[in-house]
């Protein structure tokens, strides 16, 4: 089993020595920390013969909350089902559970969920309801089978002329461009639409242009989801475990205004 993120998987797959390894003993590859992009998962399975199985957890719940069964033979893009003793509901802004197939905030309850933030009662009351459910800040969808799919972080959602744009969806499309090594999408203030998507791109092909990236996005995305600007960078800001820090990218855009 291997834990990892898009950046870790990509770095490993781009290493010639890693590609020459014998993966016959590798049964399953687990990923967590951020949503695995389908293009990354497909390439990983083709190279190693092992499907990427996503798990989901958070510090406030002392680790894992959901997981995919190890019997899966291919990447499904879900975080699986609740682990034993865990309860999960997908709720709207009013706190009511939404029906299957509808997006909402993932709320969790169970024996591993924290009692509260240390000496921060106001913050605790903001995220833990009287029923004990913790509001994670993640937007997700639960299907009829009980499988949950992460849409994006609530705070990362981009509102374009009243329409929700989720960075993970846009990044998933751009990741498929052969000239892109890494990509992160954030929202920037826009006088006409309120916000507009901006893509930060690390090139794999030096000759890649902004218009090529935008044209590629147009082939698979609705017009309001297509990045209106592409910023080429040498690398993306990340946490020590490789999670992209979108907040720093948003700050970088704000400081340019």
Give the per-residue pLDDT at 2. Answer: 47
Does 162 lie in the same domain as 134? no
Does 108 lie in the same domain as 176? no
Does 170 lie in the same domain as 105? no
Domain that holds residue 245: 157-256
**Whether residue 86 has pLDDT greater than 60:** yes
* 1 inside domain: no
Structure tokens at 176: 């498929």
Q: What is the CATH number of the domain that holds 147?
A: 3.40.50.12780
How far lies 58's CA from each of 40, 62, 107, 112, 253, in Å? 23, 7, 12, 10, 28
Does 53 lie in the same domain as 32? yes
Does 149 lie in the same domain as 24? yes
Does 126 lie in the same domain as 19? yes
> How many angstroms separate the CA atoms of 227 and 167, rounded?
10
> How many angstroms separate the CA atoms of 111 and 86, rounded?
7
Does 142 lie in the same domain as 201? no
3-state SS class at 202: strand
pLDDT digits (tens, 9 = 90+) for 163-211: 999 999 999 999 999 999 999 999 999 989 999 999 999 999 999 999 9
pLDDT digits (tens, 9 = 90+) for 121-137: 999 999 999 999 999 99
Does 187 lie in the same domain as 148? no
Does 195 lie in the same domain as 74? no
Give the per-residue pLDDT at 34. Answer: 79
Does 246 lie in the same domain as 145? no
* 213 inside domain: yes
pLDDT digits (tens, 9 = 90+) for 2-28: 444 677 888 899 999 999 999 999 988
pLDDT digits (tens, 9 = 90+) for 226-257: 999 999 999 999 887 778 899 999 999 887 65
Domains held by the chain: number = 2
**Whether residue 35 has pLDDT greater than 90:** no
Does 146 lie in the same domain as 64? yes
């Amino acid at each position: 089993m291997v834990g990892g993120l898009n950046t870790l998987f990509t770095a490993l797959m781009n290493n010639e020595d890693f590609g020459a390894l014998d993966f016959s003993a590798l049964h399953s590859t687990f990923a967590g920390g951020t949503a695995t992009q389908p293009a990354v998962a497909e390439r990983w399975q083709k190279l190693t013969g092992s499907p990427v199985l996503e798990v989901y957890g958070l510090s406030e719940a002392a680790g894992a909350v959901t997981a995919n069964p190890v019997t899966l033979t291919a990447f499904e893009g879900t975080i699986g089902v609740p682990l034993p003793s865990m309860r999960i509901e997908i709720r709207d802004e009013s706190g009511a559970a939404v029906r299957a197939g509808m997006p909402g905030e993932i709320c969790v309850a169970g024996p591993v969920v924290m009692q509260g933030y240390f000496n921060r009662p106001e913050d605790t009351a903001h995220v833990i309801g009287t029923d004990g459910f913790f509001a994670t800040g993640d937007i997700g969808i639960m299907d009829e089978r009980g499988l949950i799919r992460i849409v994006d972080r609530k705070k990362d959602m981009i509102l374009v002329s009243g329409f929700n744009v989720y960075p993970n969806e846009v990044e998933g499309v751009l990741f498929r461009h052969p000239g892109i090594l890494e990509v992160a999408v954030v929202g920037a203030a826009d006088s006409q639409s309120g916000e507009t998507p901006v893509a930060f791109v690390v090139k794999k092909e030096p000759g890649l242009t902004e218009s090529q990236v935008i044209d590629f996005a147009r082939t698979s995305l609705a017009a309001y989801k297509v990045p209106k600007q592409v910023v080429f960078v040498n690398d993306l800001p990340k946490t020590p475990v490789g999670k992209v820090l979108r907040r720093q990218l948003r700050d970088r855009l704000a400081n340019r205004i």
